[in-house]
Amino acid sequence: MATATAARTLARAIPRSTASSTSSLRLAARTSRNDAHAAKRFFQNSSRRHYSSAPEPPKSSSSTGIILGAAAAAALAGGFYYYNTQGKIPEVHLKKGSAGETAGLLKPTTEDYQKVYDAVAKLLWEKDDYDDGSYGPVLLRLAWHASGTYDAATGTGGSNGATMRFAPEGDHGANAGLKAARDFLEPVKEQFPWISYSDLWTLAGVCAVQEMQGPIIPWRPGRQDRDVAFCTPDGRLPDASKDQNHIRAIFGRMGFNDQEMVALSGAHALGRCHTDRSGFDGPWTFSPTVMTNDYFKLLMEEKWGWRSWNGPKQYQDKTSKSLMMLPTDMALIQDPIFKKYVEKYAKDGQAFFEDFSNVVCKLFELGVPFESKPEDRIRFKPTADES
Ligand code: HEM
């Protein structure tokens, strides 16, 4: 359905002054612009229908909801609702048949997590005055930087902990600008105080990809917030000025193979670089708020040269001079093995979406000691799902 499809487009395509050599991209950019208007109209209506104007306190329901009022107090007395010793974040923790369960304090259900998803999606649609019209890209970057500190050899880092809340890690150069994403999620945390920050950040990353028309990314809860002592050392995230050896060293440390490294890099279809954050400048694609395989198409089809400017070395497209690639992006076509996968994803958007879904799911689960099984993963329903 046209309206529903449009409603899933959190799109504000970059206006283009010069024609690109890639006609499909031209079409994508135009479609995104049209969709953006329809999407906004649709969302204004649907938001009135579906959401209240102010965040609601958590609601209790007969058997599946979480009762955080009297029941929490009762459970506290019984030791069921305890403070995580490291993160000082209350966790709902019940045993089947326990007094806490009888008191009505239950484990969050899939529906409860879907409510968190819906709250993030609602904010994404409402707060459309940021950057290219969406907080989606920076939310994805927050989830990735929280997860991408993982070191498989020592089992340290990863999405379990949300240690970027603390100064040492939050102040790492690679995390510049991510406060905007963390602050964006604060009202959701207030609305659903039972969710850990580390679950919330990764869930928000999933929501961002799905609401920007990306693939469904299965997700499961189980991360616990940790204290400042668990901050990872600086230097675990990639340095954009480096080459393929660096990419393999950084992502190999997390446990990814070559194909997964290329699929993950497709996230740069979204968002942009900011001179006041990384020092780099500009978007990778013409529709930075819509998930597509355009990043790979542009790598293959555009001609790229060094941008001449007073900033860090980055590439610029020769046709419109409005797009950019980082040295690490270009390494994907300079390395013959990486290039094979770039070619594949440029030709086959569906293969990219499938691989992207799998690899982002894996990324967001790095370092998490789940009690649940992979088959327990939740597939969140996007806001304007047509089904
Ligand atoms: C070699 C690997 C990577 C390097 C060197 C790299 C580097 C960068 C840099 C320099 C920026 C610009 C930040 C700014 O100035 O605001 C950026 C933005 C971004 N990155 Fe990456 N990145 C890499 C991998 C990834 C991965 C694996 C993901 C997600 C799965 C990702 C998602 C994003 C997104 C969505 C943005 C846009 C953020 C925004 O618009 O605010 N990146 N990246």
Residue 263, domain CATH? 1.10.420.10
Whether 116 lines ligand 1, by a CB cut-off of 6 Å, is no
Strand 282-283, strand 304-306: pairing: unpaired
**Cα of 355 from ligand 1 centre, angstroms:** 18
Q: Is residue 82 part of a domain?
A: no
Task: Clarify whether residues 214 and 273 are in a common domain.
Answer: no
Whether 267 lines ligand 1, by a CB cut-off of 6 Å, is yes
194 is catalytic: no
Please report which residue ranges of the chain form alpha helices under DSSP H: 2-7, 23-50, 70-78, 99-102, 110-126, 136-147, 167-170, 179-191, 197-211, 244-254, 258-265, 294-301, 327-334, 336-347, 349-364
Q: Is residue 329 part of a domain?
A: yes
Per-residue pLDDT tens for 204-214? 999 999 999 99
Domain count, the chain: 2
Inter-axis angle of helices 327-334 and 336-347, nearest 10: 100
Q: Which of 145, 201, 219, 268 is catalytic?
A: 145
Task: Clarify whether residues 118 and 218 are in a common domain.
Answer: yes
Task: Clarify whether residues 194 and 174 are in a common domain.
Answer: yes
Q: Is residue 284 part of a domain?
A: yes
Whether 282 lines ligand 1, by a CB cut-off of 6 Å, is no
Task: Clarify whether residues 318 and 372 are in a common domain.
Answer: no
Neighbours of 179 (CB within 10 A): 13
Write the CATH number for 217: 1.10.520.10
Task: Clarify whether residues 124 and 146 are in a common domain.
Answer: yes
Whether 144 lines ligand 1, by a CB cut-off of 6 Å, is yes
The per-residue pLDDT for 30 is 35
Q: Is residue 140 part of a domain?
A: yes
Q: Is residue 163 part of a domain?
A: yes
Q: Is the pTM of this model over 0.85?
A: no
274 is catalytic: no
The answer to whether residue 179 scores a pLDDT higher than 90 is yes
Nearest CA to ligand 1 atom 2: 238
Q: Is residue 378 part of a domain?
A: yes
Q: Is residue 10 part of a domain?
A: no
Task: Clarify whether residues 130 and 204 are in a common domain.
Answer: yes
Task: Clarify whether residues 196 and 293 are in a common domain.
Answer: no
174 or 92: which leads in pLDDT = 174
Task: Clarify whether residues 122 and 200 are in a common domain.
Answer: yes
Per-residue pLDDT tens for 95-140? 454 444 445 546 899 999 999 999 999 999 999 999 999 999 999 9
Q: Is residue 81 part of a domain?
A: no
